[in-house]
Structure 1
C-alpha cells in the first residue's frame, strides 16, 4: 500500500507540473499575440528629415493595431531640451471615424485621416529653432490603454547639400560607352551579313549564266557534228 501511495503522489505531482507548464505556455502565447497585434505608431521608413529654413515640412506618423481601436488618443510634442511642448492632440472614436483634434501651435496643421490610419502634421515656415525631436504618441482604450510612441528628428539647414554626382556620371558614361559599342558591333555585323548575301547572290547568278553558256556551246557543237556526219543521198 505504501508503494501505491508513493506512485500515486508521483503521478499527481507530474500532472500538476504538466498543468503548470501548459498554463505557462498559454500565457506566453497570449502575451506574444498581444505584443504582435498591439498598438504601434511609426514614422515610416525614414525617421528624420533635412529641410530648408523657411520651408514647410511633413512630420509623418501612422498607427496600427490588429485588435482594432476605440477612443484612440494621440498627441504630438516637441522636445525642447527636455521640456515637452504640446503641438496638437486628438481622439479617434472608432475605426473609420475622422479624428477630432486641437492645435496648440500657430504653425502646425493636422493632415491625418482615419481612412489611412494617419495622424501626421505639417509644420509651416520652419526656423532653426524648430530643429530637434518630435514625438508622436498614441493610446488605445480598446487595448486597456496600451500606448506607444515614436520619434521623428528634424534638421534645419541654410541650403541643401549638393550630392556628389561624380560616381553617377562615371557609371552613366561607362554604360553609354558599352551600349554604343554594342550598337556599332551590331551595325557592322548587319553590314557584313548584307554584303555576304549579295556576294552569294552574284556567285549564284554567275554559275547559272556560265552553265547556260556551256550548254549552248555544247549544243551548237553537237549540232555541227551531226550536220557533218549526215551522209549524202
Structure 2
C-alpha cells in the first residue's frame, strides 16, 4: 500500500508535468514568428530591383515590437534597417535606413516588414536576417533568413529532359488508348460473328428437321391417284 507522502509526491509530480505541458503548448502557439516566405531566396540580375520579403505573426498581439534587417558581410552583421511598431495595425515609428538604395516597404496592417533593394550589385548578394523582438514575450528573439543571389544574367533552364519525359509519357498514353480502342473493336467484331454463327446454326437445324420429316414438323400428304 502507498503511504500518504508517496501519494502526495505522485500528485505533485503529475501537476508539475501538466503545467509544463500547458506552458510549452501555450508558448508555442503565442510565440512571435518571423517568415521570409516559402522560398526564402531569390536570384536577381545585376542592376535589377529586388523585394526582400519578411512577415511576422503573433497570436497574443504585439507591443513596441522591435524589428531590424541585418546583412551578413563575411561573418560581420551589418544593420540595414530597424524600427519599432507600437501595436497592431499601427505603422512603424523611428524607422532608420542604414544603407543606400534601400527602402522600407512594410505595413503593420499586413504584418509586413519587407524592404526593397534598388539597382542591386554583386556586393548586395548574401544573407539578410529579419529579426523581431516582442516585449510581450519577455525578451525572446525571433529571426528568419533570406538569401539574395546576384548574377550577370538569369540561367536558361534546359528543358530537354523534361520534353523527352513528357513525350515518352504522352506516347505511352496514346499507345494505351489505341490498344484499348482496338481491343474493344475486336471484341465487338467477335461478338457480332458469334451472334451470326448462332443464327446460321438455328436456321440450318430448322431446315434439316423439315427435310427429314421429324416429329413436330408438318408435311404435305401426297394425293391418292384416281382409278380409271
Shorter-chain TM-score: which interval? Answer: 0.7 to 0.9
Moved over 4 A (4+): 14-31, 207-221, 229-232
Please point out which of 144, 162, 171 is paired with 1:168: 162
Q: State whether structure 2 residue 42 is matched by structure 1 residue 49.
A: yes
Cα 1:95–1:196 shift into 2, 3 Å? same
| Greater share of helix | 1
Aligned to 2:24: 32
**CA RMSD, Structure 1 to Structure 2 (Å):** 3.8
SS at match of 2:222: helix
1:150 to 1:96, Cα distance in 2 relative to 1, 3 A? same
Alpha-carbon deviation of 1:92?
A: 2.5
Query: Among 196, 219, 222, which residue is 1:222 paired with?
Result: 219
Aligned equivalents of 1:103, 1:61: Cα separation in 2: 17
Shift of 1:20: 8.9
SS at match of 2:84: strand
Q: Is the 8 A contact 2:86 2:92 kept in 1?
A: yes
CA distance in 2 between partners of 1:162 and 1:213 (Å): 80
Q: Verify the 8 A CA contact 1:79 1:85 in the aligned structure 2.
A: no
Q: Which residue is 1:126 aligned to?
A: 120
Q: Secondary structure at the match of 2:129?
A: strand
Question: In 2, Cα distance between the equivalents of 1:50 and 1:115?
Answer: 28
Per the TM alignment, residue 110 of structure 1 is displaced from its structure 2 partner at its CA by 3.3
Aligned to 1:154: 148
TM-score, length of structure 1 as denominator length: 0.71
Structure 1: runs of 5 or more not aligned: 1-10
Q: Distance in 2 between matches of 1:35 and 1:163?
A: 44
1:182 matched residue in structure 2: 176
Aligned residues: 218
Q: Tell me whether 120-129 or 27-36 shows the greater mean CA deviation.
A: 27-36
